[in-house]
Chain A
Amino acid sequence: MRHTISVLVENKFGVLSRVSGLFSGRGYNIESLSVGETIDPQISLMTIVTGGDDWVIEQITKQLNKLIDVIKITDMTELDHVEREMVLIKVTPRQQDKAEVLNLTEIFRGRIVDSSQRTYTIEITGDEKKIEAFVELMKPMGIKEFVRTGKVAIAREGVKKKQ
């Protein structure tokens, strides 16, 4: 099963290779990885998407915890959480498709961030399913370039119901 794991690490050089080395050295797979500074510039947050049965995921989280530079691990999959990733797509639609591209971008709450005579560059943010659906719809429009961030995730806070 696929798991999204948030890893708080010391923001030092070499930490990324310790984490990625752990995955490659022990034969675990990284589906996506995104890293960024947190509010505290001494700490970074890695969001790792990986797969495996419970046995493997338990080992991955334990092994990550064992790394000296790892401060805290949260397996987001166990929590109610929000996941997002972003893609930038450059499409080269035919003249008659241009309106459809704009239309679809609107429907998917994307934005045109750049355009030229022949291209639109569209920014789309969302969960995996939304992004995949959008990409599917854009394929016939002629995708010229396509970049995708890794996933980021954050836990939801519980909301109390009003009496």
Chain B
Amino acid sequence: MKISGAEIIVECLKREGVRHIFGYPGGVVLNIFDLLYDEKDLQLILTRHEQGAVHAADGYARATGRPGVVLVTSGPGATNTVTGIATASMDSVPLVVFSGQVPTLLIGNDAFQEADIVGITRPCTKYNYLAKDVKDLSRIIKEAFHIATTGRPGPVLIDLPKDVTGSKTEFTWPEIDIRSYNPTYEGNKWMITQAAHLIAKSKKSVIISGGGVIISGASKEIRELAEHTDIPVTMTLMGLGSFPGTHHLSLGMPGMHGTYYANKAIQESDLIIAVGMRFDDRVTGKVDAFAPHAKIVHIDIDPTSIRKNVRVDVPIVGDVKRVLTVLNKVLKEEVKEQWEEVRRAWLKQIDAWKAERPMTYTYSNEVIKPQFVVEKIYEITKGDAIITTEVGQNQMWTAQFYKFDKPRTLLSSGGLGTMGYGFPAAIGAQLAFPNKLVIDIAGDGSIQMNIQELATAVINKLPVKVAILNNRYLGMVRQWQELFYQERYSHTKLDESVPDFVKIAEAYNAVGLRATKPSEVEPVLKEAFKTKKPVFMDFIVDWKEKVYPMVPPGAPIDQMMFEEPEKKPEKKLKVVK
């Protein structure tokens, strides 16, 4: 029996185990939307902007580990997905994005709502397709899911001309074989043995655990490695949750806003074991001065990540979980060391650094410190929540003051640094885990970048909580202006223009709460967490507060700036009523 391209798409999605699609309709995807009208097993979540749809699918994917699926129309519908796709690409998130396209005969004619989305997304997808023939459709979809979810995951886009979804063919579910795509999963055994011997020889090692550990599901293995060899672990932003933040071997996050002790440990180390991370400039600081005494073992599934930014002594290409399993085995069976003995002095040194410069901020009775809000969220949830963030100070304070113990509990745009990511991502995560507490820690700037998705949350009864750290500034940029641009606050002061978030929440039929004093923080949080609806919490926080420690851009990571005791008398704080 012949079925239409649209029916093929629906059938393929079901066979891939998809239950939720995020999307927005339009002219050229009507063939597919028409089928979804009667569809029971595939639920489309209508967002209020295509960017929101992609971030929601991204949040869904990061929270579950399964691919997120997006369906949008051609032209502006497709171009609106670009930021979301680039976000997913940078952070290795599996997505399959279906975009409508004008009929094949009109392609290239500057037709209404035509955009060359395959060309536009070529550099920010793992792969993309223009499906020109309905006969290729099922193979393309199967390949797309395969490519998106294997190796180093990433977004794949399929462009669907309207005539392709409309024309009919026999359905087939082909075996796929992409001869030019063969990710390496098994690490080279000889290299792994080399790594084990370096670990045995080293006195001052550090593990840097990145997002790859979470993607690969290797939290158990990384913990086993750390505990067996008594090596402290620092987790990159993407790696937070890969190793328990409350563990005695945890050093917290390294890099620009990392902990003093993580950066110190890296700079003084004689061996770095980098796992599923890619030495981003926010981690390394000045590359030439990064870990000057250390040999580097680098484990990653993506060969291009290795020796891209830093020199590597032992490169191991492979799936992190499989490589660590072998490494742990080699360490236990072939390299017998009295680890505790070897590491004692090093761990003592790290404890001294921890005591010297702990992660801290100055509490105030009068004004809400943003870090205090993050701490309270952690305290009340006991870490049993999915946290998303926007980008900027809110993101860094979350990374610093919330202890992530489990993988897939922090969803944050690390690579691209996309403001407006956290709220739709929270919606996606909430859809995947309806009974979990999902909290977006936001800023007053970022939340306004996808605030329209409040409608999506309300109508789909997705009770996400948004904690807005409202400082009436684009805080992170303001911080740089204060520190490096002589306090010239060019276009970062939002001030009166910040809307009343409580009223906005109410206008959308959600709940709005506000705290202006430190004593109100806990009651507001508790009430929000009890509420079965989406909640905007407007925390009026100290606008002067900065993210510390901070490594100035381009400096080595042990040249850190810390919070200085305030010299000037406190300026009067302006509170938006």
The proximity string for A residues 62-88 relative to B, scoring 1 for CB distances below 8 Å and 0 otherwise, is 110110111100000000000000000
The answer to whether the Cβ of A123 comes within 8 Å of any Cβ in the partner chain is no
B: contact size bracket = 10 to 19
The answer to whether B178 touches A68, judged by C-beta atoms less than 8 angstroms apart, is: yes
B307 touches A55 (CB 8 A): yes
From A17-25, A105-113, A132-140, give the one contacting chain B. A17-25
Q: Is the CB of B307 within 8 A of A68?
A: no
A5 to B98: give the CA distance in the assembly, Å.
35
**A149 on the interface (CB 8 Å rule)?**
no
Dominant SS among interface residues on chain A: helix
Alpha-carbon distance between A17 and B302 when the two chains are bound, in angstroms: 22
Expressed in whole angstroms, the minimum distance between the Cβ of A68 and any Cβ of chain B is 5
Given the interface contacts A17-B119, A68-B127, does A59 sit within 8 Å of B304 by beta carbon? Answer: yes
Chain A residues lying within 8 Å of B436, measured Cβ to Cβ, are none
Could you tell me the distance in whole angstroms from the C-beta of B159 to the nearest C-beta in chain A? 11
Task: Pick from A14, A65, A68, A70: contact of B126, CB below 8 A.
Answer: A68
Closest residue of chain A to B152, judged by CB? A66
Q: Given A10-B180, A59-B308, does the pair A66, B122 have CB atoms closer than 8 Å?
A: no
- Contact of B123 with A14 in the complex, beta carbons under 8 Å: no
> Do B122 and A68 touch (CB < 8 A)?
no
Known: A59-B308, A70-B180. A65 touches B122 (CB 8 A): no
Q: B577 at the A/B interface (Cβ < 8 Å)? A: no
Q: A18: which B residues are within 8 A, CB to CB?
A: 122
Q: Indicate if the CB atoms of B303 and A21 lie closer than 8 Å.
A: no
Q: Which residues A94-150 have CB closer than 8 A to chain B?
A: none
Which A residues are in CB contact (< 8 Å) with B180? 9-10, 68-71
B118 sits at the interface (CB 8 A): yes
**B147 close to A (CB within 8 Å):** yes
Interface status of B112 (Cβ within 8 A of chain A): no
Instruction: Among A14, A55, A59, point to the contact of B122 (Cβ < 8 A).
Output: A14
User: Once the chains bind, are B147 and A62 in contact (CB under 8 Å)?
Assistant: no
- A98 and B122 alpha carbons, distance in the complex (Å): 52
Measured between alpha carbons, how far is A63 from B152 in the docked complex, in Å? 13
What are the residues of chain B within 8 A of A10 when measuring CB–CB? Answer: 180
| Closest chain A residue to B127, Cβ basis | A68
B190 near A: Cβ within 8 Å? no
Please tell me if the beta carbons of A58 and B307 are within 8 angstroms of each other in the complex: yes
Give chain A residues whose Cβ lies under 8 Å from the Cβ of B37. none
Knowing A59-B304, A68-B178, A69-B180 are in contact, say whether A21-B123 is a contact too (CB < 8 A). yes
Are A65 and B178 also in contact (CB < 8 A) when A21-B122, A21-B123, A25-B123 are? no
What mask results when residues 399 to 429 of chain B are scored 1 for a CB within 8 Å of chain A, else 0? 0000000000000000000000000000000
Q: Is A66 a contact partner of B123 (Cβ separation < 8 A)?
A: no
Bound form: Cα–Cα A29–B304 in Å: 18
A66 B302 Cβ-Cβ under 8 A: yes
Whether B40 is near chain A, meaning CB under 8 Å from some CB there, is: no
Which residue of chain B is the closest to A42 with respect to CB atoms?
B179
Given contacts A14-B118, A65-B303, are A71 and B127 in contact (CB under 8 A)?
A: no
Write out, one digit per residue, whether chain B residues 267-279 have a CB within 8 A of any chain A CB (1) or not (0): 0000000000000
Task: Report the bound CA distance from A18 to B180 in whole Å.
Answer: 14
Interface string of B114-131 (1 = CB under 8 A from A): 000011001100110010
User: Of the candidates B181, B303, B308, which one forms a contact with A68 in the assembled complex, judged by CB atoms under 8 Å apart?
Assistant: B181
Residues of A within 8 A of B304 (CB): 59, 62-63, 66
- 8 Å CB contacts to B: which residues of A21-62? 21-22, 25, 55, 58-59, 62
B122 / chain A contacts, CB cutoff of 8 Å: 14, 17-18, 21
Residues of B within 8 A of A22 (CB): 123
Q: Which residues of B contact A62 (CB under 8 A)?
A: 303-304
- Residues of A within 8 Å of B126, CB to CB, are 68
Bound: A65/B303 CA distance, A: 9
B178 / chain A contacts, CB cutoff of 8 Å: 68
Residue of A with least CB distance to B119: A17
Give Cα A99–Cα B179 distance, bound, in whole angstroms.
55
Q: Which residues does chain A contribute within 8 Å of B307, judged by CB atoms? A: 55, 58-59
Q: Write the nearest CB–CB distance from A83 to chain B, whole angstroms.
A: 25
A23 to B465, CA, bound (A): 43
Q: How far is the CB of B11 from chain A (nearest CB, A)?
A: 24
Interface 0/1 of B169-183, CB less than 8 Å to A: 000000000111100
Q: Scan B301-313; emit 1 where CB is below 8 A from any A CB, else 0.
A: 0111001100000
With the chains together, A2 CA to B510 CA distance in Å?
62
A71-B303 in contact given A17-B119, A18-B122 (Cβ < 8 Å): no
| A69 cross-chain contacts in B, Cβ below 8 A | 180
Least Cβ–Cβ distance between B320 and chain A, in angstroms = 18
Q: How far is the CA of A152 from the CA of B290 in the complex (A)?
A: 41
Query: Can you list 14 contacts pairing A with B, beta carbon distance less than 8 Å?
Result: A9-B180, A14-B122, A14-B130, A58-B307, A59-B304, A59-B308, A62-B303, A62-B304, A66-B304, A68-B126, A68-B147, A68-B181, A71-B179, A71-B180
Q: Which 3 A-B pairs have the closest CB atoms?
A: A71-B180, A62-B304, A68-B127
Contacts A17-B122, A59-B307 aside, 5 further interface pairs with beta carbons under 8 A come to A62-B304, A68-B180, A68-B181, A70-B180, A71-B179
